[in-house]
Structure 1
Amino acid sequence: MEKEVIYNEDLHFEHENWQRELDFWEDELKSFHLRIEELINRWTDPMVLAEIEKFQNEFMIQEKEFDALKDQIAMHEKNMAAHYEKNEDVLNKTFVTQHLDFRKVLETERNLYYNLKKDFFRFMTKYM
């Protein structure tokens, strides 16, 4: 059975895509914060304001999570650069396993963020 070979450039490509996705999400959150401000100025009902606060908190949690994910990507890139400097284009099994685990983490985050956006859009449709 032939072993699968995974190269730095393949992982780097995926890291770049993840980075762009996280950057996009961060930009989206900036626009969501603007919408939140509009809602705060529009509503005085305590129930609506409590929902707004819930979304504010969830957006802040997401921002921190995005930063943490970006930090992990940067650490992976640093590790790959160290291998590259040693002329090691193929990574060790542990690092590849970490990369595959991170891929799952990002997929979970993608789903969580998608559901948060969906809930927020429903909320805005109701109260904008």
Structure 2
Amino acid sequence: METKILNNVNLHFEHVQWKRELIFWDDELKSFNNRLNELVTRWTDKDVLAQLEHYQNEFILHAGVIDDIVEAINKHEMIISKYSEKSYDFMDIYMVKNHLEFRDKMETQRQIYADLKKEFFRFLSKYM
């Protein structure tokens, strides 16, 4: 088995990248909600309105996930800073394992978000 070393600088760099991605998603969700508001004024069909509500709920849920991920990143960053204050350049095995699990969660969330966007864009193509 190959040994991989994750030092605090690398973990921090990855956190910064994730936070930028999450901020972008949050901005996109605001734009998507604006599209929903436009459609609400155009459509009275119950099926279309139900779909609009579905997307509104999905966007609310995803915004909550974004908030949760940012909070988790911030907590991990605080731990990294405590390690750095003690002049430890590397995390312990538990924290690295935790980070790797978090990385997997981020990958999963990317896929969920990408699928939601594709589905929403198909919906917009049909009803805009």
TM-score, length-scaled by structure 2? 0.97
**Partner in structure 1 of residue 64 of structure 2:** 64
Q: Is the partner of 1:91 in helix, strand or coil? A: coil
TM-score, length-scaled by structure 1? 0.97
**Distance in 2 of aligned mates of 1:114 and 1:58:** 13
Shift of 1:60: 0.1
**Distance in 1 of aligned mates of 2:118 and 2:50:** 18
Superposed CA offset, 1:1-51 (max 9, x none): 884322100000000000000000000000000000000000000000000
Q: Extract unaligned runs of 5+ from structure 1.
A: none
| Percent sequence identity over aligned pairs | 48
**Partner in structure 1 of residue 55 of structure 2:** 55
**Partner in structure 1 of residue 31 of structure 2:** 31
The RMSD of aligned alpha carbons is 1.1
Amino acid aligned to 1:78: M
**Distance in 1 of aligned mates of 2:5 and 2:110:** 27
Change (3 A) 1:28 1:2: closer
